[in-house]
Amino acid sequence: MSACVRYRCTFGHGGNLNTDVVLIAGPLVRASSWEPTAEKLRDSGWRVQVPDILAHHVSPPAWSAWSRSLVNQIAPANGLVLIGHSSASALAADLATKLPTKAVVIVDGDIPPIEGAAYPVRPALRAFIQNLARADGSLPVWSKWFDGDGHRASLVGIDILKSDRNAFARFESGLPKMNISWFDETVDLARWDHIPAGFIQASKLYDHATVEARGRGWPVINSEGTHLDPTLRPAETANAIAVIARTLGAIP
């Protein structure tokens, strides 16, 4: 199934929905990266939660403990639509078997395995960041991973964000400092393929994930933007979320 033909519709009014949308940020950025999209959804009457792990921890939790920390921050609801951006795709899949979930939507992230071990990033990216690690294993913040690679910075959207110095400074100041060893842990996923799921491809970086999602029969939207679409193109991202959620039957 493809939702692409329906993508140009507006996301409409979500008032009186008996469902909370939970926007989960990848661990390498702050939950504030989702706030522009959250505002668009709320303005249309949607109930939205944006849990911020890094606001409650002095240092980033271990990858294997991230989902447990999220559970403690998600308010009870009769039904949830879990939206995972980037590395949060595996977190959304993990939470889907722990919370009353109507649907999972992945935004520009790898498609998690149906069950079993899920790493924070795929092997190719793990190899890339190994080369960025200092002698003590510490890494530059995520926004600096793409220094000197204009093409990748463009696909990510860093170049657009940098065009507003103040906005970029606020974004970068909140990024966590990670160690290369953090990327070696796994989340052990219970089987979750019984839960309806869909995929939103925001950047060309995730062509491979679109292929995997379509292979699983998921509805897919390509918004033809950048990896930071939840921040940079909130109206388009909110619209895509609404289309996928309705296609999956998670909302009216």
- Give pLDDT, residue 4: 43
| Residue 7 CA neighbour count, 13 Å, CB half | 18
72-103 pLDDT per residue, tens: 999 989 899 999 999 999 999 999 999 999 99
* pLDDT band for position 67 (cuts 50, 70, 90): very high
Domains in the chain (CATH in brackets) are: 4-120+186-247 (3.40.50.1820)
- Give pLDDT, residue 249: 94
* Average pLDDT score over the chain: 91
- Give pLDDT, residue 6: 44
Looking at residues 162-170, what average pLDDT do you find? 90
- Give pLDDT, residue 11: 53
233, 223 Cβ separation under 8 angstroms: yes
> Which amino acid, residue 7?
Y
35, 167 Cβ separation under 8 angstroms: no
For residue 87, the tally of other CB atoms under 10 A from its CB is 24
Is pLDDT above 70 for 157? yes
Looking at residues 96-117, what average pLDDT do you find? 97
- Give pLDDT, residue 251: 86
Crossing angle of helices 35-43/234-247, nearest 10°?
A: 60
Is pLDDT above 70 for 1? no
4-24 pLDDT per residue, tens: 434 444 555 554 457 899 999
221-250 pLDDT per residue, tens: 999 999 999 999 999 999 999 999 999 999
* pLDDT band for position 193 (cuts 50, 70, 90): very high
Q: What percent of the chain has pLDDT over 70?
A: 93
